[in-house]
Structure 1
Amino acid sequence: MTDTSKDRFEPFADGASVRSVGGLSIENGTARIAVHGSLDITKDRIGLDQARLLRETFEAVVKALEAAALPEKVAEAADIAPKRVKNPFA
């Protein structure tokens, strides 16, 4: 899902949604939000709309973080030991 409008962006709710602002992508995840790309905010109405959307997005991220019980650091995938599971095809 690409969100280029002002639709609701719920930080940390899923690992599939993306909000795009110009050439900037804000990728949602359950443990982290990734920001990629580049954005020139121009001194015009489009720039103002983009700046407001960025502000709204990051305010939602901060609000979600402030409302959560946070660990000191999120475990990286390499830090988590793999689990053996039964082969469902065997």
Structure 2
Amino acid sequence: MSKFVPYKNESDVLHVGGLTIENRLDRITISGDIDLTADQAGLKDARALAQLLADVVSRLEAQTLPDRLPPAANTIVANPFE
């Protein structure tokens, strides 16, 4: 499996516990839930999350960012079933 590089593409998905982390060019989407249990499995998940967030912060700090992203553009396409 290739390394998850934040903001690199629109296709990478990472799973940590019950979390799904989706890569996008302009955002990282994290959904789901996780229990960071006081055992080796919890430690492994906590380390994975810490590394992911460190990579995200590093990537964001390395660029000039707007105050807020503009709203996504809506595109209307023809219905292929009509």
TM range (shorter): 0.7 to 0.9
Counterpart residue number, 2:38: 43
Aligned-residue sequence identity (percent) comes to: 39
**Aligned partners of 1:33, 1:75: CA distance in 2, in Å?**
16
- The alpha carbon displacement at 1:59 in A equals 0.3
Matches within 5 A, 1:32-71: 32-71=27-66
Q: TM-score, normalised by structure 2?
A: 0.84
How many aligned residue pairs are there?
Answer: 75
Secondary structure in structure 2 of the residue aligned to 1:27: strand
- The alpha carbon displacement at 1:8 in A equals 2.2
The one-letter amino acid of 1:37's match is G
Q: Which runs of 5+ in 2 are unaligned?
A: 76-82
Counterpart residue number, 1:16: 11
- The alpha carbon displacement at 1:72 in A equals 1.2
**Aligned partners of 1:81, 1:27: CA distance in 2, in Å?**
21
- The alpha carbon displacement at 1:76 in A equals 1.5
Structure 1 consecutive aligned stretches of length 4 or more whose deviation exceeds 3 Å: none
Counterpart residue number, 1:88: none
